[in-house]
Structure 1
Amino acid sequence: MSQQITTASGIPVADNQNSASAGSRGPLLLQDFHLIEKLQHFNRERIPERVVHAKGSGAYGKFTVTHDISRYTKAKLFSAIGKETETFLRFSTVGGEKGSADTERDPRGFAVRFYTEEGNWDLVGNNTPVFFIKDGIKFPDFIHTQKRLAQSNLKSATAMFDFWSRAPESLHQVTTLFSSRGTPDGYRHMDGFGSHTFSLINDAGERVYVKWHFKTQQGIKNLTAADAVRLAGEDPDYAQRDLFNAIAAGEFPRWTVFVQTATEAELAAWEGRTGWNPFDLTKVWPHGDFPLQQVGVLELNRNPLNYHAEVEQAALSPANVVPGMGYSPDKMLQARLFAYHDAQLYRVGTNHQYLPVNAPRCPFHNQQRDGAMALANGGADQNYATVEASGTSPQGLGHGEPAMPVNGPAARYDGRGVEDDYTQAGNLFRLLPADEKQALFDNLAGPLSQVPDEIVFRQLGHFDKADPAYGAGVRAALKARGRNID
């Protein structure tokens, strides 16, 4: 029998799987101390390397507007076709340590900073449009399964598939991870995604929800499993080397930037037809329902001069959005809005925004003072906000974000057994060509052959529900490895 989970102060935890939210869609509640403590402790588990996305590569560049989206957003960086904005992009692997190989089977981080005249906008995403979980309270647990066991200091396929097999919401991303796209050929030949649903707000205060897509102009290229393993031994810095050398040679990589947009009413109608929560990070918005609309082009054209100062200390956060942008009730996004900035405070320091790679390119002023490395400490400026006895008067600046509707009582909502975790994973499987399906079967059979029967049976059940041919293919691949599972 498992032990009762408690907080670090010994207080029993009633629910360790679902965050407290204002209604079933969120947003999350600050009063959920267990969520806050869990994320805060998780952010402080490694010194000084990042807990996730530890090994990364970065480069500077520019974003150029090619199509008008001012009807959706008042953000000034989109105000005119041809307008350019300086950018910084950090690529990374997710689960490995700082010295791990670039070619490991893993999602890739795709984190873009836009240095706009209204402050920094950070779009902190991945090379996949979905993720393994839909609630941030599960994130520390999930990442622990991808890291090393406490006793042996070895990674464990059993831990990974034990988690995935108990969380069918992960199936969509697991299918992506074990397909050919789980081992991209460097960073230049993969797409990027904001992944979460965000908001755009126009001058009239109207909100549309949005998903961001970065389509590589270099073409998609992936490594076979055998080549990925070979390169891990021959050149573990393969992706870093490829990116740096390409930029140094003037072969500047580019991505075409697109958005999908939808009003609240459009999303409600789509959910009514499909049953899918549009703010669920384990789901995509099909392009047939929400077509891609081109916005601009992202180009990387300058390598950093000092890796530690400009890449290792780069501190991005999805909470950084500029006027004309906003968030959504996505529970994973809501947790990340807190967790990323908190991680940077711990890892880099309370004044990390003063570092050149993190500093905005526009004037900034606040009343924050002191702390370690307070390079610009305000001097004789007033360090407190004057209280207005008659009430505050909005300045007409800033985000000006319209109210986001919430519904339902504040509670923890568990959608398991109710929500559809299989259809989109099956759709992805059915899109794969025959050779890529076989690669998927073989890639899954490798680690699955190392785990106990109970977990294999549970995971195969998920494959069967996505598509019977999916489960049958993995069974055949396991049998070819001498593991007969019936």
Structure 2
Amino acid sequence: MPEDNTILTTRQGHPVRDNQSTRTVGERGPATLENYQFIEKITHFDRERIPERVVHARGAGAHGYFEAYGKIGDEPASKYTRARVLTETGVRTPMVVRFSTVAGAKESPETERDPRGFAVKFKTVDGNWDLVGNNLKVFFIRDAIKFPDMIHAFKADPVTNRQEAWRFFDFVGMHPESLHMVTHLKSPWGIPANYREMEGSGVNTYKLVNDEGEAVLCKFHWEPKQGIRNLTSAQAAEIQGKDVGHATRDLYDNIAKGNFPEWEFCVQIMPDGPNDHLSFDPLDDTKLWPVDQFPLLPCGRMVLDRAPSNFFAEVEQVAFGTGVLVDGIDFSDDKMLQGRTLSYSDTQRHRVGANYLQLPINAPREGLRAMTNQRDGQMTYVVDGGPNPNVNYEPSVLGQSLKEAPKPAKDYHQPVEGRLGRYQTSRTTDDYTQAGERYRTFQDWERDDLINNLVNDMKACPEAIQLRMVWHFWHCDPDYGTRVATGAGIDLEKAKALPPLPGRAAPGQRLEHPTYTDGTNEEPMRTAAE
């Protein structure tokens, strides 16, 4: 048979039958290490650019400290977590923060309409804790296997070397879970006035674990005490004409004046479990946890009081990873979090080197030494070993090896049960309700700027993309879709007449899983006998 050059394959030539979902244990269960297709895809993606970061290339950093209140809301923090960085008051934990834009290159302007990275490294008494998030509280996609595709679509066209609106909306139109983020991004919230007046969010869902081995789901947020301020497209263009690095200058100038920026650290908490009573999946990072149901509970504050003394050493070489957690903070089965946890550390080894954690900016706080038994690799200058340099393994009958740390009295053991497979739907396929709610919460000037930005983008797109995007916007809110269609001269009725996307349910309806060979909706579980 003739070769079909339209079929997506891996680099090994294997046909890709599902490019939308990682393999997980059940619909909401954890990802598995056997995700070969995902691992090959994401590790190649991590190596697509050198030497600057693949994403978040343009950035600014600063040093400061974190002080825990010892409480989460009105409750003792120890009720929820045994992480000492959150439970011990009167302790200043040193930290380094890097703010960034996502899609732009290293020298791109800081006025770009783009999510802002908000990455924080706590150098705690129990080792480093990295909280790697954005200024916006949701994301474009809910499964990490789509991340390379998303960034490819958002980055420059490989032919024209320009970011093209049609590429962006071609991707978004086929991934309606992106609508919530797009509604944020294309409004003034897509251009923060500066880094000081900008929110931060961990975006993903984590878990807090206490001394009893009990866990709750949580989300982390940074609320600026300077207030929040955003820019319209016109205001951003005026600033960009004078200064492409205005946000970095604003941050460093204010620190130099002693006007130290400060954020309150807040946590949202939810019982661990399926939470079937909710209309959304709390593990879906395209969804917000409504604050009227899950309030922001203050638990500490961050102050930035020192600019870097060497930008390259302390900002370019600083490396963050979502897998860098301390005891008392744990992973959830958020599919984006699980994918990021592999990708972030992998890309740092490629970008900075195998021994990137030996650099002072990335090493644990002073007084804590890494003792790993890991050896050699490019640019080694410290031996991460124990008392006997000949024994770089454990255990040893001679008693000269490193020893395991004491285990907690009661550890957390997550129950996991499910059928291994690729699941393309989360609990609900409703990707429209929260985007519509966000649209309706905007002030008039914010809504006007959103519509103006989308109208300009739609005019640069072919009709097929225009119609699909108006269909999406109209299902978020009829006024939303109508205004975009009217402004861009798009036939609203023609757009509304489109069918749902192939393989996706109509808004408000559930899409059943594909049927596997045993006639069920899931892949059969393997037994020990098999």
Normalised to the residue count of structure 1, the TM-score between the two structures is: 0.94
1:383 is matched with 392
Q: Which has the larger radius of gyration?
A: 2
2:43 is the counterpart of 1:40: yes
Query: Within 2, Cα distance between the matches of 1:92 and 1:378?
Result: 32
1:151-171: per-residue Cα shift (whole Å, max 9, x none)? 121211111000001100000
Partner of 1:352: 356
- The change in CA–CA distance for 1:165 and 1:377 in structure 2 (over 3 A counts) is same
Letter in 2 for 1:169: E
Residues 289-304 of structure 1 aligned to structure 2 (within 5 Å): 289-304=293-308
Distance 1:448 1:15, change over 3 A: same
Counterpart position of 1:53? 56
Residue among 426, 442, 447 paired with 2:436: 426
2:528 paired residue number: none
Q: Unpaired runs of 5+ in structure 1?
A: none
Asked if structure 2 preserves the Cα contact closer than 8 Å seen for 1:86 and 1:114, the reply is yes
Q: Distance in 1 between matches of 2:384 and 2:289?
A: 46
How do 1:190-339 and structure 2 match up within 5 A? Answer: 190-265=198-273, 268-269=274-275, 271-274=276-279, 276-339=280-343
SS in 2 for 1:212: strand
| Secondary structure at 1:30 match in 2 | coil
* SS in structure 2 at match of 1:234: coil
8 Å CA contact 2:157–2:163 kept in 1: the answer is yes
Q: CA deviation at 1:395?
A: 4.5
CA shift in 2, pair 1:124/1:378, >3 Å: closer
Does the C-alpha gap of structure 1 residues 352 and 138 become closer, same or farther in structure 2, counting only changes over 3 Å?
Answer: same
Distance 1:463 1:110, change over 3 A: same
Deviation per residue, 1:430-454 (Å, 9 max, x gap): 1111221111101111111100011
CA distance in structure 2 between the aligned counterparts of 1:398 and 1:221, rounded to whole angstroms: 44
CA distance in 2, matches of 1:325, 1:417: 25
Corresponding residue SS for 1:245? helix
Kindly provide the amino acid, as one letter, of the partner of residue 355 in structure 1. L
CA contact (8 A) 1:24 1:407 kept: no
Match of 1:343?
347
Query: Distance between the aligned counterparts of 1:184 and 1:398, measured in 2?
Result: 43
In structure 2, distance between residues paired with 1:161 and 1:236: 26
Q: Which amino acid in 2 is paired with 1:436? A: E
| CA distance in 1: counterparts of 2:130 and 2:60, whole angstroms | 16
Which letter does structure 1 place at the counterpart of 2:93? Answer: T
Summarize the Cα distance change of 1:368–1:23 in structure 2 as closer, same or farther, 3 Å threshold.
same
Note the alpha carbon deviations across 1:141-196, whole angstroms, 9 max, x for none.
Answer: 00001111111212111110000011000000000001111011010111000111
Q: Deviation at 1:2?
A: 6.7
Aligned mate of 1:374, from 377, 380, 385: 380
Residues 191-213 of structure 1 deviation map (CA, whole Å, 9 limit, x = unaligned): 00011110111111111111011
Cα distance in 2 for partners of 1:353, 1:409 equals 37
Equivalent residue for 2:472, pick from 437, 462, 467: 462
Gaps of 5+ in 2: 72-76, 398-402, 494-530
In 2, the alpha carbon distance for the partners of 1:189 and 1:179 equals 16
> What CA deviation, in whole Å up to 9, does each residue of 1:262-318 have, x standing for no partner?
1125xx44x3242x1110000011011111111011110000000000000000001
Q: Indicate whether 1:146 and 2:154 are aligned.
A: yes
Residues 374 and 417 of structure 1: is their aligned pair in 2 closer, same or farther, counting only changes over 3 Å? closer
Shift of 1:232: 2.2
SS in 1 for 2:483: helix
Task: From the superposition, tell whether residues 171 and 378 of structure 1 become closer, same or farther in structure 2 (CA, over 3 Å).
Answer: closer
Measured against aligned partners, the alpha-carbon deviations of 1:342-374 in whole angstroms (never above 9, x if no partner) come to 000000011000111100012321110000111
CA contact (8 A) 2:69 2:87 kept: no
Pair 187,398 (structure 1): closer, same or farther in 2 beyond 3 Å: farther
Q: Which amino acid aligns with 2:383?
A: N
- Could you tell which deviates more after superposition, 231-240 or 303-312? 231-240
SS of the residue aligned with 1:282? coil
Structure 1 equivalent of residue 78 of structure 2? 70
Instruction: Quote how far apart the aligned CAs of 1:377 are.
Output: 1.9
2:13 is aligned with what amino acid?
A: G
Distance 2:321 2:197 in 1: 24
For residue 17 of structure 1, the aligned residue among 12, 16, 20 is 20
How far the C-alpha of 1:476 sits from its partner, in A, is: 2.8
Structure 1: distance between partners of 2:305 and 2:173: 42
Q: Which amino acid letter does the alignment assign opposite residue 394 of structure 2?
A: A
Helix, strand or coil at the partner of 2:79: coil
Matched-pair identity in %: 44
Q: 2:424 aligns with which of 398, 414, 434?
A: 414
What is the letter of the counterpart of residue 382 of structure 1? V
Task: Name the SS for the 1:447 alignment partner.
Answer: helix
Q: Is the contact between residue 324 and residue 399 of structure 1 (CA under 8 Å) also seen in structure 2?
A: no
State the Cα distance separating 1:398 from its structure 2 match.
7.2
Checking the alignment, whether the CA contact within 8 Å between 1:326 and 1:401 is kept in structure 2 is no
Greater CA drift, 252-261 or 231-240:
231-240
In the alignment, the residues of structure 2 paired with residue 398 and residue 244 of structure 1 have an alpha-carbon distance, to the nearest angstrom, of 42
- Asked if structure 2 preserves the Cα contact closer than 8 Å seen for 1:478 and 1:485, the reply is no
Cα pair 2:281 2:428 within 8 Å, conserved = no
Kindly state the Cα deviation for residue 27 of structure 1 after the two structures are TM-superposed. 1.0
What is the TM-score of this pair, normalised by structure 2? Answer: 0.87
SS at match of 1:373: coil
Which has the larger displacement, 222-231 or 185-194?
222-231
Amino acid at match of 2:348: Q
Partner-residue secondary structure (3-state), 1:104: coil
Contact map agreement 2:265 2:300 (CA 8 A) in 1:
yes
Range that drifts further, 116-125 or 361-370: 361-370
